[in-house]
Chains A and B, each alone.
Chain A
Amino acid sequence: MAKRFIFDSTRCTGCHACLVACSIKNKLSPGQSYRQLQTFNDRHHPELINIHLSIACNHCSNPLCLQNCPTGAYSKDSATGAVMIDSSICIGCKYCSLTCPYDAPSYSEELGITEKCDFCQDRLEAGESPACVQLCPTGALDIEDFEPTPYTKDATNSQPGFSETTTRPALRIESFKADARPVTCSQKTKNSVISTFFGKLKSTDLPKTSLSSEWPLLLFTSLVPLQVALVFCHLTSKISLNLIAILLSVVVGMGLSAVHLGKIQHGYRALLNGATSWLSREIMLSFGFLATIALSVLFSPPPLPLGLITFFSGMLLLLAIDSIYSAILRGTPVIIDNETVTLTTLIYIMILSGHPLVAMVPMSLKTYFHFHQKPSPFIHLRSLQQITFRIRLLLGLFCPLILLIFQPPGGRWLLFSSVFLAEVTSRLWFYLNLDVPTPHNQMSRDFKEAEQNLRERKGALHK
């Protein structure tokens, strides 16, 4: 029978014993744990209840980690439903931790691989509860047998910090009802003090990715559209260039993208899960693209069928890249997003093949997306992000318009350079904002929402 965790936030005191229980059970270094605890209203807004969320892997019925892992290191135990990772297969690409909405897979810098809660499989087999459950001193954690059922959202039972997702987490939450009243405090604080305080309070959001670790992927995903566009224009004789240079740049790009792996030497395993993982497919398609360019170099000038195959393998690679990020963001498909590299490539092709006015259509569309797409609610716009946002607008729309109006000599290449730089900046903006929801950031967002709602309600009453 499949098992699931039960978390009862009406009993959790935020004592952290579950984290240390997990740490001891899994022989992790002190201070590390596969479980995390988030607190709602830790600064005690007098009109809001203070509650905690203790969360580990929810052993989802539809685990995105398992689906998206390029190596097939994940498996689901048929008896308990536990989602397990085989650390001997993991290559440390961290893609699973980006796709998991609950921040369950945890990457170990020390080991270069990802580890996670295995539901204390050995304890379950011995008829015992997982260590975190056994060592919860208030009875807030438990497990139970359950029949996985399709996902339904129970709006009356919303637990701050926890977002319902289509992954169908094997977790039952007993929580305060949405209208739970906080304790009535005898001390009354002026509304102005409360709102000034929360207005000033620094955000505690923690982005899950950072440019310092993601820069190879930024370069890789910026290079591919350029490469595909150049190959197309070369094959259609719109421009002429040395295919060997393109070939080398593809090799460099692929090499760079492997740098972020925890286990580069085992990188080949990323090809093992083409069946469900877009990352695996992307890597396969990268090799395909590389091979077709290599053939095109050998049979220069390439015959038409080879030319077509080369271009289409490049386009498939672009679609794969877009799909990877769609999976991470779990919202809008990236293909109709500001960040689509497929659309970027089409813009490049149009400009390079001498149709800059046509290119203005997708460029305007992307700018629309850019405006429309609000910055991730999980992150405050930091200064770097504001700068990139503005540069993107300047280079991607205003400069091209001016160039098109004044038509200076060498305008096509100026225009292309401007748009290319805009797209790289846009990509940078994307990585800076590539912040998937985690329980931590979800909690912080839920609190901000609750606090603002109170403020608005007060404002309305005041009027």
Chain B
Amino acid sequence: MAKYITACPVNCYSTCSMIVEVDNGRIVSLEADPGNKATGISICLKGLSHLERVYSEERILTPLIKTSGQGVDAVFNPISWKEALELLANKLNHCRDSYGAKSVLYYTASGQKGLLNEVGIHFFKLFGGCTIKYGDLCWQAGLEATRLTLGANKHNAPWDLENADLILLWGKNPAETNVQQMQYIYAALDKGAQLIVIDPRRTQSSERADHLLQLRPGSDGALALGLANQLIKTKGIDTDFISRHVLGFDEFHNYVRGFSLERTSRLTDIAAEDIRLLAEKISGSQAMTLCCGFGLQRYTNSGQSLRAILALSVITGNLGRPGASWVYSNLQSAIFDKTPSPQAAYPPVDSDKSSIRCSLATARLGADILKTDNPAIKMAIISRANPITQNPDSSTTTKALRGLDFTVTIDHFLTDTARESDLVLPATSMFELSDIVTGYWHPYIQLRQKVIAPVREAKSEPEIFYMLTKKLGYSDEDIEGILPFPDAEGIETFLAAKLAPFPELSLEKLKKGPILCPGFEEVAFADFCFPTPSGKIELFSKEARQLWEVDEIAKFRPPQESTGYQEETVETKSLFLLTPNSKNHIHSQFNNLKNIRQFSPAPFAEIHPQEAFERGIEDGERVRIFNSRGSITVIAKLDLGIRTGCICVHNGWWLSEGGGVNLLSHGRETDMGHGAAFHDNLVEVERG
């Protein structure tokens, strides 16, 4: 038996450090590594399920070529790596020669984090170019809102939450999406802190809260502005902090005057008294930590909404102190990024000069593929991604992929996207390739160690791209210094070079456990230095207008696709479709495993009994959820915890399982940051 320390690389706040036990080349157990203070308590259900994931009978373990059919009817046959690479090399050559290298789309997402993910782009630079996407599905609007306001995305250490006397969970459900955060929430509550949750749903995270404000989806900005107005009116703000560190308070104040309790109540559908009470609690707090989730920033108005919410921490001086923090994203450990997020995902200004064409909006992937020409997209290589399921507008994404001459997907399972591909290549798991993993909640640098040989014929991306370069006829000299040699030594050399600028870090040290990132700040902004253009916290941001053509002040506008904000002339029966994450998935990953399936056997829709009864829907019956873009039919689960006017289906269900929520979403961007505004999503519901 040997034990190794490694790190979970999926797209999750927690990014846990784990101890893997290996016996005779086979993983036998996974445990939490106490060396990571934030996640040492334990790993989660999904982390534990990595074990089944590696050895699942459903895992793809040889290259597969499609012989017939599409989608659920697709039939694949195994082929050898030699055949697969020859086919792929021929297709790549053909595209480059006939249409130009930019006719090849290289699409990646967040399936498995690591520094080695960059080898794909190096390959394509060598190859002569390709087309890639800009923007991101996840968190861009909030990152940009934070950057515009504070200058950087960082927050207090996870464990500092214990020091708060008021915790505001705004659209965040850590019990399901960041479970280790709960230990600190409970610790704070045990010390007498108050917890307020703002969420259309009564979630597991709100069970021990004092109040749950179930606001109208997309009205977060209005609620924040109303609270700000009330705070200013009742002198519940920190004038000293404002005068020293804040730019644009007067303009902000002028604007929020319009948000009386009554108007805010109308916009948010929260009783004026509840808003007043929350403002009172905020002003009474000595140390408020505001934890803001990602779901609420996937609306067309959400960058501005997040600026407004963040303003609450700003005007009350709840920054730069223990227990007082804006907890959105902690990029302290992102020390290897040449460009910090969110700008890393923006299209470069001089894209035309580069061989890499960065021209497809992630939020409109399908539509942008279809409209691209000169050259048009002819083939796609997709890795760590399942765009058909996860990107907005599944139908258009499917149509776009079906229109290509050739699609290759590198993955572990036959996902919806893999099923639309001509060739599927078996990817290595987190245990079969070493890499360096950073997080966006805790501040550790972690080594994801290779602890077993790849199962059967699975291959890592560095190896696939290396073999492909050889197949395309490049010599070792051509490749030298561009792609790592895909053996243990080559990979370690690549990673060691990444660590070289940081004397605190080395592979040897990281093998022993996670290390706090160089320059780690336990309390973020404790120096009150804000790297904005003015050097102050900007409630008035010129950049906001220059970059995104939005108001300098975080003005509220209802989401483009929404209901209830105005007196509607025609009575609408539309519901907001909420598509949050659950404890059972990371996006479209994990739910296909038996260990998870037992808790989550089939897609279902949470709906308030009142909405259900009005439509003649009974608990356990099938409901059809539809709009002009598509429809899905799932089981109704009546739940008094969800806000009326909403229906909720977790995202991540595969289309082949009948729960593809993005069949209903529209491809459009958030107001800033090139995020995806797929939560602007109204649906009708009827008995299925």
Show the binding face of A for B, using Cβ within 8 Å.
Answer: 10-11, 13-17, 20-21, 23-25, 29-31, 43-46, 49-51, 131, 134-139, 182-187, 189-190, 193-194, 196-197, 200-202
Contact = CB atoms under 8 A, between A and B. Distances in A.
A44 B202 contact: yes
30 contacts: A10-B208, A16-B45, A17-B48, A23-B595, A24-B29, A24-B30, A24-B51, A25-B29, A31-B595, A31-B597, A46-B640, A49-B207, A50-B202, A50-B207, A51-B207, A134-B32, A134-B42, A135-B42, A136-B41, A139-B186, A183-B206, A183-B208, A185-B211, A185-B641, A186-B211, A186-B270, A187-B643, A193-B610, A197-B619, A200-B618
Contacts of B686: none
Contacts of A31: 594-595, 597-598
Nearest to A39: B204
Contacts of A15: 44-45, 175-176, 179, 583
B336 interface: no
B48 A24 contact: yes
Contacts of A190: 610
Interface in B617-638: 618-620, 638
A190 B214 CA distance: 16
Most buried by B among A16, A139, A183, A200: A183
B593 A193 contact: no
Contacts of B175: 13, 15
Nearest to A44: B641
B546 to A, nearest CB: 38
Contact of A189 (B43, B183, B610, B619): B610
B179 A138 contact: yes
B22 interface: no
Nearest to A51: B207
A235 to B, nearest CB: 57
B640 A186 contact: no
Given A10-B186, A138-B179, A197-B609, A186 B42 contact: no
Contacts of B270: 186
A286 B42 CA distance: 53
Contacts of B520: none
A136 B29 CA distance: 15
Contacts of A43: 638-641
B49 interface: yes
B305 interface: no
Nearest to B619: A201
Interface of B: 29-32, 41-45, 48-49, 51-52, 175-176, 179-180, 182-183, 186, 197, 202, 204-215, 270-271, 274, 583, 593-595, 597-599, 608-610, 613, 618-620, 638-641, 643-644
A449 to B, nearest CB: 18
A43 B620 CA distance: 13
A11 B214 CA distance: 23
Contacts of A197: 609, 613, 619, 638, 640
From A10, A14, A137, A138, name the one whose CB has the most chain B CB atoms within 10 angstroms. A137
A197 B639 CA distance: 9
A236 to B, nearest CB: 59
Given A17-B44, A43-B640, A137-B179, A193 B619 contact: no
A186 B213 contact: yes
Nearest to A11: B186
Contacts of A44: 202, 639-641
Nearest to B637: A43
A30 B48 CA distance: 11
Contact of B593 (A29, A30, A49): A30
Nearest to A136: B42
Contacts of A16: 45, 583, 599
B361 to A, nearest CB: 35
Nearest to A27: B28
Contacts of B45: 15-17, 20
Given A44-B640, A184-B210, A20 B183 contact: no
Contacts of A137: 32, 41-44, 179-180, 182-183
A186 B200 CA distance: 10
A44 B607 CA distance: 12
A371 to B, nearest CB: 33
Contacts of B30: 24
B594 A30 contact: yes
B7 to A, nearest CB: 16
Contacts of B641: 43-44, 50, 185
A35 to B, nearest CB: 12
Contacts of B42: 17, 134-137
Given A31-B598, A50-B641, A137-B32, 19 more contacts: A10-B186, A13-B205, A15-B45, A17-B42, A17-B179, A20-B49, A24-B30, A24-B48, A131-B29, A134-B42, A136-B41, A137-B42, A137-B43, A137-B44, A183-B197, A183-B208, A186-B211, A193-B610, A201-B619
Contacts of A24: 29-30, 48, 51
Contacts of B205: 13
A135 B31 CA distance: 7
Contact of B613 (A186, A187, A193): A193
Contacts of B206: 183
Contacts of B202: 44, 50, 183, 185
A139 B49 CA distance: 19
Contact of A186 (B44, B214, B593): B214
B286 to A, nearest CB: 23
B574 to A, nearest CB: 18
Contacts of B599: 16
Contacts of B608: 189
B186 A184 contact: no
A298 B183 CA distance: 75
Contact of B212 (A11, A45, A136, A185): A185
A139 B640 contact: no
A23 B609 CA distance: 36
Contacts of B207: 49-51, 182-183
A24 B212 CA distance: 37
Contact of B609 (A29, A49, A193): A193
A427 B7 CA distance: 58
B610 A183 contact: no
A30 B640 contact: no
Nearest to B213: A186
A44 to B, nearest CB: 3
Nearest to B56: A30
Q: Max chain A CB contacts within 10 Å: which of B30, B202, B595, B619? A: B595
A139 B182 CA distance: 9
Contacts of A184: 210-212
A195 to B, nearest CB: 10
B573 to A, nearest CB: 17
Contacts of B211: 183-186
Closest 8 CB pairs of A and B: A44-B641, A30-B594, A13-B175, A197-B609, A137-B42, A31-B598, A30-B595, A187-B214
Nearest to B175: A13
B274 A186 contact: yes
B41 A139 contact: yes
Contact of B595 (A20, A46, A186, A202): A20
Contacts of B182: 11, 13, 137-138
A20 B48 contact: yes
Given A10-B186, A24-B48, A193-B609, A134 B214 contact: no
A183 B195 CA distance: 10
B640 A45 contact: yes
A138 B180 CA distance: 6
B216 to A, nearest CB: 11
A137 B207 CA distance: 17
